[in-house]
Amino acid sequence: MPVAQDPRRVAMISVHTSPLEQPGTGDAGGMNVYVAETARELAARGVEVDIFTRRTSSETPVEAELVPGVRVRHVTAGPYEGLAKEDLPGQLCAFSAGIMQAGLSVPEDHYDLVHSHYWLSGQVGWLAADRWRVALVHTMHTMARVKNRHLATGDAPEPRGREIGEVQVVEAADRLIANTDDEARELIELYDAPPSTVSVVPPGVDLSTFTPGDRGAARRELGLPPDGEVLLFVGRIQPLKAPDVLLRVAGELLVRDPALRARLTVAVVGGPSGSGLSRPHELEELARTLGIEDVVRFVRPVDRARLAQWYRAADLVLVPSHSESFGLVAVEAQACGTPVVAARVGGLPTAVGDAGVLVDGHATADWATAVDGLLRDAPRRLELGAAAVAHAARFGWGATTDRLLTVYRQAMRERASGTAEPSVDEPLALAGVPTAVIP
């Protein structure tokens, strides 16, 4: 069997959101972090990366350097502003044409592999990989059929067109990256992905930024009371992420113990996104309805260094999403030594492990009981915090990139030989068939 070298150059495609954007609002979230961090790690290993993303402003340069070895290439496709993610399928032809035009300026064998992120990018990556005669590796990040099974009350289902597009990408990709074993099962069971093409590669966390620290110092920096309890939600404000659960829990805790009001701070760090854009003030209205506006603090998205301070300042971080392919917020919080209470959905059991508390469903009473129990048990919180740091240490971006490179090499080898290889990785029985797992 021929031995494949690491790729020299990788074309990453992220149509709807740029790795240069601030995560936490609009369409920028964990995927932005994933693309940026893996590109940085690849460049550190000598692999050049071009990230193609849609241009959303006339002031955005055609090219920008993320770090040496990583270029962000902005492609014009449709009007710069005013296009929602749901409008972008109509611009995929224009985006693909832009990538093909960019490809004319480099030799035909310039790129060794295409790695697309999210189904819109997969549609473009399908064409680009075919045109350049290289392997296509695809990461879904989220999937319509999974989201539609776990819709929040009042949230709109993902359209049929997205489901069809995802099926096409699954069929076209040489390799599919799943964040967790559960996501691998979903690809196989819901999308008929061939198990031999699915590799499980968990995302990572920046372990140099998200570290344990002085809680008192963090609270002073953020203007929080030095004493008392701080509950934190971090993420995009939309029904899928269920930030309302945090507010309802706070309301229930104050009903159970009115004296807690003098000590409680509820912080929501993030901005409107997705269907939440149509109701940007819904959380503020809910806080007023619950009579807790005096203890709630809404904060716009912040950079990673300040975000780490928010994690350190909190007693507990709540991750109540209805669906998560992984749950990067949970791992970032744990890396800072803060216990997490999360929904038992999607990839969150993997992200949280035994170092946090998982709650079935989204009933306010169940979440309030879990949170109240931890707030009243400081030794248990300290125990979970120590376990959280150890658990998060498994998820560095360096380890993620090492695993990605293994997948890249196998995809390139298969494309070069024209035949699929049996998995040489540890097997995982999914739907009765082994799939590739990168340990």
**Which residues fall in the annotated binding site for 1D-myo-inositol 3-phosphate?**
16, 27-32, 85, 118, 142, 162
**Contact of 278 with 327, CB cutoff 8 Å:** no
What single-letter amino acid sits at 62?
V
What is the C-alpha R_g of the chain?
A: 22
Positive or negative, the CA dihedral 128, 129, 130, 132 is positive
Burial of 425 (C-beta count, 10 Å sphere; 0-12/13-18/19+)? middle
- Closest C-alpha to 70, from 41, 49, 47: 49
Contacts of 104 (CB under 8 A, 6+ apart): none
CA 181, CA 59: separation in Å to the nearest integer? 42
First to last CA, the chain: 21
- Closest C-alpha to 75, from 48, 90, 56, 89: 56
**Contact of 231 with 267, CB cutoff 8 Å:** yes
Full 3-state SS string of 237-277: ECHHHCHHHHHHHHHHHHHHCHHHHHCEEEEEECCECHHHH
Annotated binding site for Mg(2+): 311-312, 314, 338
- Structure-token pair, residue 397: 């971006």
Element (H, E) at 430: strand 426-430
Annotated binding site: 16, 22-23, 27-32, 85, 118, 142, 162, 236, 241, 302, 311-312, 314, 324, 332, 338
Q: In Å, how far are 185, 188, 434, 438 from 423, measured between CA atoms?
A: 17, 16, 8, 10
Annotated binding site for UDP-N-acetyl-alpha-D-glucosamine: 22-23, 30, 236, 241, 302, 324, 332
